[in-house]
Structure 1
Amino acid sequence: MDIIIHPVTENQAEALWQLMYALDFETKYMMYEPGERSKDIERVKDVIHEAVYGDNLLLIAENKGELIGYLSAERGKCKRIHHSAYIVVGIRTAYQNYGIGSKFFVELDNWAKKNQITRLELTVMCQNEVAKHLYEKRGFVIEGVKKQSIIIDDEYIDEYYMSKLF
């Protein structure tokens, strides 16, 4: 496999949307249900613009030109939370367990330190042991449990609040 991780580029909006749409069908661990995500390419372009020219980070993983994963970090906009960033990660099922997640988090740590971010935060469904293990391996700790946070298949799911401080 020839996996390359790099910041998203402006011409990748359609491919990024396709990746996110595909992830919605592959896993129940993402926010959107299959088919729920609207095809709003302008919104995706705005997200990319904020990463390329603004304060956010958006990394993608590619294999032979195909987008196979992403990590986004949205920095707090207000002064009081500008030191923090909220993280979302998605990796196509066929490409999990190849170290992509770990590579994403190394790049994330470098970006956070370079940009004076002292708090990274995320939520993860409590039953998602694989993701929880990755986050703990990368220095995240559980801060609490968000009870009945999400409904999947008519069942309430709890999430962990996790953070990493620098």
Structure 2
Amino acid sequence: MIIVAQGYENKGLRYTVRSASPQDALQLSALRLKIDGETENLDRVQGEGFIGPEGFRSLIAADTASGTNLFLVAEIQDRLAGFARCEGSPLRRLAHQAEFGVGVLQEFWGYGIGRSLLEQSIAWADAISLEKLSLKVLERNDKAIRLYESLGFEVEGVLRRDKRLADGQFYSTIVMGRLRGDSAED
């Protein structure tokens, strides 16, 4: 699915959120690898589950052709700073929902890029009448949890001792969901 590009400015930083295109594949491969090395909030250790440029081209093409998938990028002067992806299901019993994931380069944390990617994803989900968006977030990622709650996501469950991080400790993953029409203002 393709969305109309939106421009944003926050704290003097201008960026655009738009649909990913095949020309983004090389940057996306490097971006994902770098983000995976900057935080333990994601599932992968840097280098795990590597997707090269050709893999990203295939993923972007499939998502663009799909009515239930969305692949967005945040761009700053021809440089990708983050991405988000919503993946729906071809199964009829699950076709009413999609799962959201996001990654933003650490140097651009605090500029609202993650929020903008999520808001665009929510607008897309509502526009195509998806009933539910879901996501998973590491229990210690308080800033992300507050963001998700501010946009209408609620805790649906906890996957206890779900991840072991570099400190050797286990951490839980929080499963959150947002139903269509739900928002923090309701």
Q: Where on the TM-score scale, by shorter chain, does this alignment land: which range?
A: over 0.9
Q: Is the 8 A contact 2:164 2:171 kept in 1?
A: yes
* Residue 112, structure 1, aligned to residue 125, structure 2: yes
Give the paired residue count. Answer: 166
In structure 1, what is the equivalent of residue 35 of structure 2? 23
In structure 2, what is the equivalent of residue 51 of structure 1? 63
Partner Cα distance (1:22, 1:37) in 2? 13
- Unmatched runs of 5 consecutive residues or more in structure 2: 1-12, 181-186
SS at match of 2:136: strand
* Residue 135, structure 1, aligned to residue 148, structure 2: yes
In structure 1, what is the equivalent of residue 169 of structure 2? 155
In structure 1, what is the equivalent of residue 18 of structure 2? 6
Query: What RMSD over aligned residues (CA atoms) do the two structures have, in Å?
Result: 1.3
Q: Is the 8 A contact 2:36 2:44 kept in 1?
A: yes
CA offset at residue 12 of structure 1?
Answer: 1.0
Partner Cα distance (1:69, 1:39) in 2? 16
CA offset at residue 96 of structure 1?
Answer: 1.1
Partner Cα distance (1:40, 1:97) in 2? 28
* Residue 122, structure 1, aligned to residue 135, structure 2: yes
Q: What are the Cα deviations for residues 33-64 of structure 1, in whole angstroms up to 9, with x where unaligned? A: 02324343332222211221113101100111
Partner Cα distance (1:51, 1:2) in 2? 26
SS at match of 1:2: strand
TM-score of the pair, normalised by structure 1: 0.94
Code of the aligned partner of 1:155 = Q
Code of the aligned partner of 1:13 = A
* Residue 62, structure 1, aligned to residue 75, structure 2: yes
Q: Is the 8 A contact 1:21 1:37 kept in 2?
A: no
CA offset at residue 111 of structure 1?
Answer: 0.7
Which aligned segments of 4 or more residues in structure 1 are displaced greater than 4 angstroms? none
TM-score of the pair, normalised by structure 2: 0.85
Partner Cα distance (1:77, 1:156) in 2? 33
Partner Cα distance (1:124, 1:38) in 2? 21
Partner Cα distance (1:135, 1:22) in 2? 24
* Residue 94, structure 1, aligned to residue 97, structure 2: no
| Aligned-residue identity in percent | 27
Q: Is the 8 A contact 2:138 2:172 kept in 1?
A: yes
Code of the aligned partner of 1:151 = R
